[in-house]
Amino acid sequence: AWWAILFTAKYPKGMFDFVVAYIRWGLRVGAYIGYFTDVYPPFSGAE
């Protein structure tokens, strides 16, 4: 995404959505592993 931002001065929506989904899923897994929740994190990304 860094190169796309550098050349176009915009963050491509597809890349942004992917990064947001990746961070969200990582936080869910971290919460599950840390016993903050007993809900298994979904792989689909659906809320």
Predicted confidence at residue 23, as pLDDT, reads 94
pLDDT band at 41 (very low <50, low <70, confident <90, very high): confident
The per-residue pLDDT for range 2-31, each reduced to its tens digit, is 898 999 999 999 999 999 999 999 998 999
Tell me: pLDDT of 47 over 70: no
Total of domains in the chain: 1
Closest CA to 43 of 17, 25, 16: 25
What DSSP character marks residue 31?
H
Predicted confidence at residue 13, as pLDDT, reads 96
Write out the residue range of the structural domain in which residue 33 sits: 1-47
Q: In this structure, what token pair is assigned to residue 29?
A: 């897994």
Tell me: pLDDT of 46 over 80: no
